């Protein structure tokens, strides 16, 4: 009887091992798979203390801005490691979809790669290729702090955890939104409100602008991927799951106003995304 019981336990253990999927450490990926929305705080300052304050303040991820900031990869590596175990997953907007940019980002422990200015489907294919290990991609296995960040089994689970976000910033990107969404390995397509306005010459609310936004939403949803946008669109536009939140400067200013009883006075409450780059201009 004891032998039969032991055999049953062993069989059950083996069966569980066969059905169990890869370990998922990327909580953003988990939340999106559960149908939840996620919000990231934007990081422009190379200061580990400020980074940790944002990463542990309730955001789902950090949007580490390396396209439009002077931060180096060494700066970002120190920030990420200084806040190992933070609630927010580290996502990096790389300067471009080059092998060097993307491999350095994932080697330092990025859980997500945000690719700017996707006007050509090959660009996002390259991003996936450099972010993923074989057989899915061509990421080489080199040095990095990824193991210290995510565990000794990182090589086996990295492809199932690292997310790729493609940014639509121009009318050209709008036209290929569905095609980029259908690239294996792309998880999210982001509508960049400010640049879409800049490249199209149209403002939010203009029927032609709104038609482009609707086209991206419909085509990406049809492809089965998640749609992203600025935080101001959360609660005002249906179908969005992934949002870029404000920078550290805005968070400090807003927090100070709340503490002083002055109110936040944010454009986000009106459902209009603020113009990127205007955060530090005195009003």
How confident is the model over 102-146, as pLDDT tens digits? 999 999 999 999 999 999 999 999 999 999 999 999 999 988 999
Check: CB of residue 63 under 8 Å from CB of residue 228: no
CATH of domain 24-265: 3.20.20.60
pLDDT at 280 over 60: no
Output the pLDDT for position 274. 72
Whole-number percent of the chain with pLDDT over 70: 88
pLDDT at 189 over 80: yes
> Whose structure tokens read 């749609």?
227
pLDDT tens string 165-187:
999 999 999 999 999 999 999 99
- The answer to whether residue 283 is catalytic is no
Residue 243 phi, psi dihedral angles, 5° rounding: -130, 140
pLDDT at 273 over 70: yes
In the DSSP assignment, the letter for residue 94 is: -
Tokens of 225: 């991927």
**Bond prior to 135 in cis (omega within 30° of 0):** yes
pLDDT at 6 over 50: no
Tokens of 275: 């113009």
Check: CB of residue 51 under 8 Å from CB of residue 83: yes
Tokens of 229: 């946008």
270 vs 144, 242, 252, 257, 265, CA distance in Å?
A: 43, 19, 20, 18, 10
Q: What is the mean pLDDT of residues 194-206?
A: 97
Is 196 exposed, middle or buried, given 0-12, 13-18 or 19+ CB atoms closer than 10 A?
buried
Spatial separation of the C-alpha atoms in residues 147 and 69, rounded to whole Å:
27
Output the pLDDT for position 20. 76
| Residue tagged active-site, from 6, 7, 23, 68 | 68
Output the pLDDT for position 166. 98
pLDDT at 82 over 60: yes
């Amino acid at each position: 009887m004891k032998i039969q019981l032991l055999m049953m336990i062993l069989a059950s253990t083996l069966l569980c091992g066969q059905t169990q999927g890869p370990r998922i450490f990327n909580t953003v990926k988990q939340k999106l798979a559960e149908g939840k929305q996620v919000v990231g705080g934007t990081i422009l300052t190379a200061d580990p203390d400020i980074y940790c304050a944002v990463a542990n303040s309730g955001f789902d991820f950090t949007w580490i801005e390396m396209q439009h900031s002077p931060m180096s990869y060494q700066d970002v590596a120190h920030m990420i490691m200084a806040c190992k175990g933070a609630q927010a997953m580290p996502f990096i907007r790389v300067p471009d979809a080059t092998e060097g940019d993307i491999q350095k980002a994932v080697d330092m422990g990025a859980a997500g790669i945000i690719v700017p200015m996707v006007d050509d489907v090959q660009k996002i294919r390259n991003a996936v290729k450099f972010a993923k290990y074989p057989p899915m991609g061509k990421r080489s296995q080199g040095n990095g702090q990824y193991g210290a960040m995510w565990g000794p089994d990182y090589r086996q689970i990295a492809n199932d955890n690292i997310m790729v976000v493609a940014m639509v910033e121009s009318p050209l990107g709008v036209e290929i939104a569905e095609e980029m969404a259908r690239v294996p390995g792309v998880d999210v397509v982001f509508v960049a409100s400010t640049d879409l306005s800049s490249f199209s010459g149209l403002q939010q609310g203009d029927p032609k602008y709104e038609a482009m936004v609707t086209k991206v939403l419909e085509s990406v949803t049809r492809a089965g991927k998640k749609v992203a946008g600025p935080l101001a669109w959360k609660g005002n536009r249906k179908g969005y799951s992934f949002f870029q939140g404000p920078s550290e400067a805005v968070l400090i200013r807003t927090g100070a106003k709340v503490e002083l009883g002055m109110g936040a006075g944010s454009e986000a409450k009106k459902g209009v995304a603020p113009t990127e780059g205007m955060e530090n201009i005195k009003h």
